[in-house]
Amino acid sequence: MTSQDVILGMLMKRGLTGYEIKHLLETIFSYFYNASYGTIYPTLSKMEKEGLITKESVLQEGRPNKNIFTITDLGKTHFKTYMNSPVLADEYKSDRMIRLYFGEFVEREVIISSLELDLARANEELERLEANYKLWQPTMSPTQEICIQIGIENTATLIQTLTNGLNRLKHIAEEKGDE
């Protein structure tokens, strides 16, 4: 799974610009993938050279011209090859979790306020995912729905676990304060 595979998948439905691809990544894909412009544009150029996609330049008034990329038959073949290749293990690197894991080496308050920030962010993320779900549900395929449900339910669980963890940590902090 490289950015190329993900972009090909996005183009299976309709032609897109690099800018639109980035926007999609930030909204619907953000839960399980992302890429910067520094990846997207060079990848699109490379794919065009290889004949996986074609470029159509559209002149616009009052705003920059744009390049709409459309998948070719060769591109579709490549995408299907990807979809039938062995599934790779998830890549997950969490700075939040690392710091929590090593929490014993910093002051308790640092950890507590960090967890509180995580909790606030998780709540925002949950709202965002639920808003997305309501917005796009009518046009989503069944498997897309499962994707967003996984995102929503995992975030809801995270909120629960963080809340429980915070309560326990605060409890320990109070006990220590009583000594």
Partner DNA sequence: CATGGCATGTAACCTGTTACATGATTCC
Partner DNA sequence: GGAATCATGTAACAGGTTACATGCCATG
Which string of b and e fits 119-148 if b means at least 16 CB within 10 Å?
beebeebbeebeebeeeeeeebeeeeeebb
d(CA 43, CA 67): 14
Secondary structure of residue 102 in the 3-state scheme? coil
Q: How far is the CB of 31 from DNA (least distance, A)?
A: 15
Query: Given the DSSP bridges, would you call strands 66-71 and 53-58 parallel, antiparallel or unpaired?
Result: antiparallel
Candidate ranges 15-23, 101-109, 129-137, 142-150; the one touching DNA (CB under 7 A): 15-23
Radius of gyration of the chain, Cα coordinates, nearest whole angstrom: 22
- Give the residue with the Cβ less far from a second copy, 31 or 69: 31
Site for DNA in 119-178 (CB under 7 A): none
Of 68 and 158, the one with the shorter C-beta distance to a second copy is 158
- One character per residue 35-74, x = contact with a second copy (rule: CB under 8 A): ----------------------------------------
Total of residues contacting a second copy (CB under 8 A): 59
160 contributes a contact to a second copy by CB under 8 A: yes
* Six token digits for residue 116: 């509180």
Cβ count near 162 (within 10 Å): 20
In this structure, what are the phi and psi dihedrals at residue 92, rounded to the nearest 5 degrees? -135, 120
Please select the residue that binds DNA; options are 9, 29, 39, 130, rule is CB under 7 A: 39
Q: Residue numbers of the site for a second copy (CB under 8 A)? A: 1, 5-6, 9, 12, 29, 31-34, 79-80, 83-84, 87-106, 110-111, 114, 117, 141-144, 146-147, 149-150, 153-154, 156-158, 160-162, 164-165, 168-169, 172
